Structure 1
Amino acid sequence: MHKKVFIHTYYVYIITNKYRSTFYIGVTNNLKVRLLKHKNNILQKKKTFAAKYNIEFLIYYEKYNWIQLAIAREKELKKWRREKKLVLIREMNPTFVFLNSDFE
């Protein structure tokens, strides 16, 4: 009998506002749903950091198969200075184009 192996996908992501002035870093197992939640929080005027600064546009993400690695990476990125985050984002997304449509 074969044991079923489920491959999970987790995302560490960075979103910003339309001015690209403020960043939010998070982790999720469903980036499409999470991006919608950020957008809805803004529309509903929820008192979250992302909603306060109208942060809903995806500019960077990484994929992981282990939640522990994703959480560790999220914590690492949150400690970085803005300049270091900008270098990381530019490596994947040089023009800071919004990537939300990749997950619609």
Structure 2
Amino acid sequence: MRGAGKRPCVYILASKPNGTLYVGVTSDLVRRVWAHKTGAVEGFTRQYGVHMLVYFEFHETMPEAIMREKRLKKWNRAWKIELIGGFNADWRDLYDDIAG
């Protein structure tokens, strides 16, 4: 998906298919996921090896994206797994698709 550029976005990273999940928000998806992948982001994702981009959704405004991120973080794990499965059934790392 070219043209990801700078747009408000909610994303989910995974350590592996059905593995540890991380929900985040950014205005630059390619840059942010690259930071997670290279270990430039300290904390949870680096500690637990959560680097696969398995889900993302763009929003019109950053406040919208932040609100969605907060809602997703409150979801139970099964709902998140279902959301990812409907978007990316094979749990492929989508980074190359957006960075292309």
Query: When the two structures are superposed, what TM-score results if normalisation uses the length of structure 2?
Result: 0.86
- The answer to whether residue 55 in structure 2 is matched with residue 60 in structure 1 is yes
RMSD over aligned Cα, in angstroms? Answer: 1.6
Helix, strand or coil at the partner of 1:29: strand
Q: Which moved more, 1:10-19 or 1:64-73?
A: 10-19
After TM superposition, the runs of 4+ consecutive aligned structure 1 residues lying more than 4 A away are none
**What is the aligned length?**
94
Task: Point out which structure has higher relative CO (alpha carbons under 8 A, 6+ apart).
Answer: 2
CA distance in 2, matches of 1:86, 1:64: 21
Q: Which runs of 5+ in 2 are unaligned?
A: 1-5
Instruction: Indicate the structure (1 or 2) with the bigger Cα radius of gyration.
Output: 1
1:71 matches 2:71: no
Counterpart-to-counterpart distance in 1, 2:11 and 2:70: 12
| Alpha-carbon shift at residue 18 of structure 1 (Å) | 3.1
The answer as to whether partners of 2:11 and 2:23 remain within 8 angstroms in 1 is yes
